[in-house]
Structure 1
Amino acid sequence: MTRADEQPIPLSTRVNRLFEWGHRRGDPEQTNEEVALALGDRLRRPVEPQMVESIRDGSLADPPLDLRDAVADHFEVSRVYLSGSDYGYVDTQVRLCISARDAGVRSLSMRSLADPDPAGGALPRQAMEELIGLLARLTD
């Protein structure tokens, strides 16, 4: 859930986080060309690398919904992350995964990281934020 007191995270920032997340430690990020080709396969129509670049640099701030969904599917995150306004929990998950990978964590079970219900069944965002901070200290 995105909290009322949080500033919105631009779509370009969220997409760039997916590029940052979508590779193994030590490997390069996927290129705009590679992602455009994969999106074209998903959508069954050509997607130009310039369109991906425009989303990433913010010059295309409101791409079509099917393209946002295809990007989310490509990087295997909830479509809410790019298509909804309630993306805060997913953003925290993505940042946690990036931090864990960069700290050299070899395995991270995400089974319990579904969006939390009011009964508190999943890891709260605050706990994930604390883990992100701890992991950041490991990489310093």
Structure 2
Amino acid sequence: MNDQRCPTTAERINELFATFHRRSEPERSNDDIAAQLSLIGIELTVADLIGLRSGAKVASPDVLSALAQLFGVPVAYLCGTEIEAIAVHRKLLLLRSVRDAGVERLALRGSVDCDSEVISAYLSDVLDPA
């Protein structure tokens, strides 16, 4: 995400699915996520979840909060300000790049404000050194 455009809610939800699975496994299914949400008292049909992911439906703050908690990200990613969403999104892109590069352990040293886009670009080069 080289620009600072805030991803849409649908893009952020899709990023959760794309990021939080093992490299060797497919992303979690809509059925699985809907079932997990029902276990914590959030009734969301698979069709509604598909609508959220496509941008055709708008979720309540309770549903967005539950999705964030289910995936283990700050609620601000789905319910906060654009600045908060962009910051978390950049970290998720880095996390996905690390996973896709096959990195098993990562230690970052130095500035707390390391540029996750630069690290992600380096990891992309490892995956596709063309």
Question: The TM-score by the shorter chain falls in which range?
Answer: 0.7 to 0.9
Gaps of 5+ in 1: 113-120
SS of 1:87's partner is helix
Q: CA deviation at 1:6?
A: 2.7
The CA deviation string for residues 7-37 of structure 1, in whole angstroms up to 9 with x for no partner, is 2311111111100011001101100000001
Measure the CA separation in 1 of the matches of 2:35 and 2:5.
Answer: 33
Measure the CA separation in 2 of the matches of 1:52 and 1:109.
Answer: 35
SS of 1:27's partner is coil
Measure the CA separation in 1 of the matches of 2:106 and 2:76.
Answer: 22
Report the equivalent of 2:11. Answer: 13
SS of 1:6's partner is coil
In the alignment, is the contact (CA less than 8 A) between 2:20 and 2:27 conserved in 1? yes
Alignment identity in percent? Answer: 28
The CA deviation string for residues 111-135 of structure 1, in whole angstroms up to 9 with x for no partner, is x9xxxxxxxx7234xx111000000
Which is helix-richer, 1 or 2? 2
Say what the alpha-carbon RMSD is for the aligned residues.
2.0
Report the equivalent of 1:56. Answer: 53
Report the equivalent of 1:129. Answer: 117
- Shift in CA distance, 102/84, structure 1 to aligned 2, threshold 3 Å: same
Q: CA deviation at 1:109?
A: 5.5
Residue 138 in structure 1 maps to residue 126 in structure 2:
yes
Measure the CA separation in 2 of the matches of 1:49 and 1:56.
Answer: 10
Residue 65 in structure 1 maps to residue 95 in structure 2:
no
Measure the CA separation in 2 of the matches of 1:139 and 1:24.
Answer: 16
1:18-97 alignment, distance < 5 Å:
18-42=16-40, 44-60=41-57, 62-85=58-81, 86-97=84-95
Measure the CA separation in 2 of the matches of 1:30 and 1:103.
Answer: 20
Report the equivalent of 1:118. Answer: none
- Size of the alignment, in residue pairs? 124
In the alignment, is the contact (CA less than 8 A) between 2:65 and 2:75 conserved in 1? yes
